[in-house]
Amino acid sequence: MPKEKLSRDTQKETLRKVLDRVLVYKLPLLLSLILAALVVAGSLYLPILTGQGVDCILGPGQVDFSTLLGILVRMGVTILITALAQWFMNRCNNLITYHVSRDLRNQAMDKIQVLPLSYLDTHSVGSILSRVIADVDQLADGLLLGFTQLFSGVLTILGTLLFMFRVNGLITLLVVCLTPLSLVVASFIAKRTYHLFLEQSRVRGRQTALIDEMIGGQKVVQAFGREAAALEEFDQVNETLRDCSGKATFFSSLTNPCTRFVNNMVYAAVCVAGALLVISGKITVGSLSALLSYANQYTKPFNEISGVVTELQNALACGARVLEIIEAPAQVPDAPDAATLVPDGRVGMDHVSFSYTPDRPLIQDYCLQVKPGQRVALVGPTGCGKTTVINLLMRFYDVDKGAVTVAGEDIRNVTRESLRASYGMVLQETWLKRGSIRENLTMGKPDATQEEIIAAAKASHAHSFIQRLPQGYDTIIGEDGGSLSQGQKQLLCIARVMLCLPPMLILDEATSSIDTRTEIKIQQAFATMMKGRTSFIVAHRLSTIRQADVILVMKDGQIIEQGNHESLLAQNGFYAKLYNSQFEE
């Protein structure tokens, strides 16, 4: 299918989907249409009154003031009613536009919550942010302009033709014959602007993603002296955006002057034809005044609609990107008969195979049986699949083959909420939201008491530094922990898990950013917390997992050795080499 045809179909489909969301607000939409008709009626009635006022001039020094006074009163009332109708119409249009924008953002955020991690892993955060924020704003601007000018513009065109026909059919026919020129020019330019606006929206997403990366990793950029390279990369994207925006704006800006040229031709034709009719005595000067006013009102909506069409090209391009997120395939939903998991500590992986991409196998025929209360450590070189096993246990990804079981149940047959509520996770990558320390700690247990919060903080050795903060537990921290050190953020994440004490634990490099003395104390707290709880520990510092009941040594997605610390050392195999390499002089 040709690219232009495909794009046109996409435009129509996007427009249909946006209109479906607009039609949800039928009452304000209907009211807006009625008010638009009232505004147009008032605008079209004024030229009639103006023409009648002109005809009140009977000759030099001869004016029918009594009739003219009545006409002026009617003009004043018409202007007042039209202004009020215009104001209420704008209120309705704003209500529809911003409610549709709110609905789109809500739908996008709802979809992000259920998108599979594979989608989020393959799309930059900046691009998603750009779609949810900037693209929805662009769509709102296009919709608002459309509602404000499109309805009234179409009604004005139809109304002026009707009123002009009542005054003089010949001039009306002349105007109708010249009108298609304006439509052809506007259509020709509009078809070529959609691709440019779509590319502009995509490049804007790339720019947002780059800015997000550079600001988030500014320390790394400066540490490696990459400021000049980062600026150069930004300049390239910025230049591309300038290029796309310039072309899109240039082509879209051609619409208005081109249609104005055609419309001025229409106005000139009405002037000449009307003057000839006045000279021949077929119409009055007042009627000519009304016709000229109608010709001006008739051509004005074409200029406005051509601008609206251009903005709609931009709005639809942005709307298509927002709808891509909303319509992206969600994660496989819970089975209709999914049960609520009641964990008993048993976890199994039965001949599991998994890969992130089909052409790069990672885990193949993986088997694991964990008894209640066991502490299972996963060790091995980087990229061997340790974190992937955790992702599969939490059902962040579904297995390609085999099954993961908890309490003897295939985790695909239980609800995700109950499965994930059964685990407490402390990851190497910390995450804290903007808010108070208390809000971050009670994320897994919102009803926790102050005593419970302090006890968990003391167990994780976070209490002392929290007390030193300006407002203690009520101190507000910024995004991702603000000015807290990486170690302090990790202590808060540990305290968060210790507060809710789930039946099973996952510790993925949970103490990687903590000093050795504090780590020893936290390991003791972990040992107390893990008693009677099935635990999975991922660690590169093998000294931290010597007390594990079972150590699984992984390499290339396979378990190559299994046993406790002493037995694995006695085997003098891969684990022994890993362990000894960390303690060589």
pLDDT value of position 166: 73
State pTM to two decimals.
0.65
Tokens of 264: 């001025």
Give the pLDDT confidence of 277-302 residue by residue, as tens digits: 778 777 777 777 777 777 777 767 76
Cβ atoms 498, 460 nearer than 8 A:
yes
pLDDT value of position 354: 87
Instruction: Tell me the average pLDDT of the chain.
Output: 79
In whole angstroms, give the CA distance from residue 136 to residue 572.
Answer: 61
pLDDT at residue 27 is higher than 80:
yes
Residue 551 zone, left/alpha/beta (φ > 0; ψ -120 to 50; rest): beta
Give the pLDDT confidence of 476-491 residue by residue, as tens digits: 887 766 677 777 887 8
In order, the DSSP letters of 448-517 are: --HHHHHHHHHHTT-HHHHHTSTTGGG-EE-GGGTT--HHHHHHHHHHHHHHH--SEEEEESTTTTS-HH
What structural domains does the chain harbor?
3-326 (1.20.1560.10), 347-581 (3.40.50.300)
Token look-up 């079972």 returns: 550
In whole angstroms, give the CA distance from residue 515 to residue 195.
Answer: 55
Per-residue burial over 146-180, b if 16 or more Cβ lie within 10 Å, else e, is: bbbbbbbbebbbebbbebbbebbeebbebbeebbe
In whole angstroms, give the CA distance from residue 90 to residue 507.
Answer: 56
Token look-up 């407002």 returns: 471
What is the rounded average pLDDT of the residues 258-267? 74
Per-residue burial over 402-437, b if 16 or more Cβ lie within 10 Å, else e, is: bebbbbebebbebebebbbbbbbbbbbebebeeebb
pLDDT value of position 174: 75
What is the rounded average pLDDT of the residues 443-466? 86
pLDDT value of position 443: 84
Residue 546 zone, left/alpha/beta (φ > 0; ψ -120 to 50; rest): alpha
What single-letter amino acid sits at 336? Answer: P
Q: How far is CA 256 from CA 16, 563, 570, in A?
A: 26, 77, 84
The closest alpha carbon to 394, from 508, 312, 316, belongs to: 508
What pLDDT band is residue 84 in, cutting at 50, 70 and 90?
A: very high
Q: Which residues pair with 354 in a beta bridge?
A: 363
What pLDDT band is residue 304 in, cutting at 50, 70 and 90?
A: low
Cα diameter, the chain: 123
The helices-and-strands tally (H runs, E runs) of the chain is 20, 14
Cβ atoms 40, 159 nearer than 8 A:
yes
What is the rounded average pLDDT of the residues 423-446? 82
pLDDT value of position 256: 67
> 57-59 and 62-63: which strand pairing?
antiparallel
**What is the spatial order of strands in the sheet that 347-354 belongs to?**
363-370, 347-354, 401-406, 409-410
What single-letter amino acid sits at 506? Answer: I
What is the rounded average pLDDT of the residues 187-216? 74
Cβ atoms 308, 150 nearer than 8 A:
yes
**Phi, psi for 408 (deg, rounded to 5):** 80, 0
Cα 433-514-467 angle, rounded to 5 deg: 60
pLDDT value of position 5: 40
In order, the DSSP letters of 368-415 are: EEE-TT-EEEEE-STTSSHHHHHHHHTTSS--SEEEEEETTEEGGGB-
Tokens of 460: 């994780």
What pLDDT band is residue 310 in, cutting at 50, 70 and 90?
A: low
Tokens of 298: 């008739």
What pLDDT band is residue 80 in, cutting at 50, 70 and 90?
A: very high
In whole angstroms, give the CA distance from residue 552 to residue 537.
Answer: 10
First to last CA, the chain: 67
pLDDT at residue 4 is higher than 50:
no
pLDDT value of position 585: 44
pLDDT at residue 2 is higher than 70:
no
Give the pLDDT confidence of 323-376 residue by residue, as tens digits: 888 888 888 888 888 888 888 888 888 888 888 887 777 888 888 888 888 888
The closest alpha carbon to 274, from 289, 263, 288, 285, belongs to: 288
